[in-house]
Structure 1
């Protein structure tokens, strides 16, 4: 309980103003049990399938540490049974919200304009990026501390445009003198170009491939059950169950 209550994501959710009722100060702590226990379920999924490497964003690295701690604790008592997973950090360690660039982008945020979804249309992407919170300073510069909103847009372009840029600052050299409005339009174009193949594939599967999806689900279920059963047999034997 102590370990989970110190999780960065849990503490950050406690600080969100959306969780507070001004008439009830204690309401700030009324979060869902699922959010608190999520690292435990994540660790169980990783360990039961004996994953050796797990790609995550920077915000999930603490959860991987928890999974390793669970594996090490179990192995200390029962021998080398579970596989402590290694963390593979994504180059894009953290993507910030479009409306509040001091917070990370999240699908659970109450404002749908705060995030870009993989399935967003080009029009939706352009509207969200155009409405992204920036500042009143003319031009584009990269300064996450002083200009978090603009810098977040630069980061999005840096990570998504192909061929990839050498550094975020190199984007500025190529777009000197561009207004914020023009730069937002450019960023929206880059995001849409990157997501279009994913969106098209998703739409094709959702609207014309129901049987194919069901078949893939059954295959995945079979593979997952076989993998989990193998680990659980070893775990039960080690515990003498």
Structure 2
């Protein structure tokens, strides 16, 4: 299965002052999804992206799975607007964009119903004082070990994923990925594996796949 990279040329430097611009981590996630989607046990009915930013990932998945309910969330209102623009320019009018922290306003309705979850979280290790914003800093400030949002996602996967559901998350070497994978397996009782990695300048990026 091929995943076409959505057009984001409608977003300018003005938008990217407030919204995370697609970069190597975005494209690595797209490559990993394209490589792995044939391994899904069935076509997903509900797909969610947490932290949609420009909308490049959720728009790609909306094109890939036109019959699915695809939901993109972001805490940053500018990111939600950018995702809507990307959805529109790429003819993904069915993509639902919701401004919310994590999936707070949707969690009860998503309970054990999410077939595919993707998240390119803020993974840069920062002081805790840099957390809690709704602006561009929300796209990169990850708190202790850069795992603030990532750990929150993983803690909730048992509640969110359907029986055959799968999650794809981006990690960076500062997140201590080997130790975090052990935490996912032994503390949360989930299966986890690295499926793709790539060096991007000073960063070493890893995509992990998490299932029940």
TM over 0.5: no
Using CA pairs below 8 Å that are at least 6 residues apart, which structure has the higher relative contact order?
2
Structure of larger gyration radius = 1
TM-score (norm 2): 0.29
Higher strand share: 2
TM-score (norm 1): 0.26
Higher helix share: 1
